[in-house]
Amino acid sequence: HYRNLLGLIPGGDLQDEYVLIGAHYDHVGYGTPRNSNGPIGLIHNGADDNASGTAAVLEVIEAMANAQIQPRRSIIVALWDGEEKGLLGSEHWAEQPTIPLDQLKCVINMDMIGRLHSQQLEVSGTRSMAGLRRLVAEANYPGDLTLRFPWKVEENSDHHSFFRRSIPFLMFHTGLHDDYHRP
């Protein structure tokens, strides 16, 4: 059994169309030979993977509430369980969704966004729908943040549960680091 956490922010004139904003909240826990890049049996803390993504989802919701923004489309807020065991939570929801999947217009996934040392943010999925790359680039606040748009779609996070069903997505990620899946 997976414990996904879901919320809904009702939309306006396009309320029957949905955008999903999500992140996985699980982590490795104790390192095993299957999930660890370091010593086995020690706690592998998950501040970046993926408390950072979970916190970002909560920050987006809070910012929308404080700005009293009602989106045109309804927003599904999702915190997934079981990502580290094979995208199990997001895959379960995609197989048994609470809305018709053809009404899901885009998925925004945040995974490992807590290490912005290089001031680079990877945004993958911009090829999954025409105009996404331009939209993201235009929405980027002018400053020191450099956006990278990888060509390859990785299968290693919850966006893939939707990409394989031809649902457009954006995946935000600040890259791997030496502490990834280590105590």
Reduce the secondary structure of the chain to three states and give it as a string: CCCCEEEEECCCCEEEEEEEEEEECCCCEECCCCCCCCCCCCEECCHHHHHHHHHHHHHHHHHHHHCCCCCCEEEEEEEECCHHHCCHHHHHHHHCCCCCHHHEEEEEEECCCCCCCCCEEEEECCCCCCCHHHHHHHHCCCCCCEEECCCCCCCCCCCHHHHCCCCCEEEEECCCCCCCCCC
pLDDT value, residue 119: 80
pLDDT value, residue 53: 95
pLDDT value, residue 172: 95
Question: Which pTM value belongs to this model?
Answer: 0.91
Can you tell me whether residue 77 is helix, strand or coil? strand
Tell me the per-residue pLDDT of 81-132, one tens digit each, with 9 for 90 and over. 999 899 999 999 999 999 999 999 999 999 999 877 678 889 999 999 999 9
Question: CB neighbours of 65 closer than 8 A, spacing ≥ 6?
Answer: none
Can you tell me whether residue 161 is helix, strand or coil? helix
pLDDT value, residue 180: 63
pLDDT band at 15, cuts 50/70/90? very high
The domain locations on the chain are: 5-173
Least-confidence region, from 54-58, 133-137, 166-170 = 133-137
Question: CB neighbours of 143 closer than 8 A, spacing ≥ 6?
Answer: none
Q: What is the CATH number of domain 5-173?
A: 3.40.630.10
Tell me the per-residue pLDDT of 18-47, one tens digit each, with 9 for 90 and over. 999 999 999 887 888 888 887 888 877 777
Residue 177 clears pLDDT 70, i.e. is over it: no
- Residues with catalytic roles: 83
pLDDT value, residue 182: 65
pLDDT band at 181, cuts 50/70/90? low
CA separation for the pair 101, 112 (Å, rounded): 26
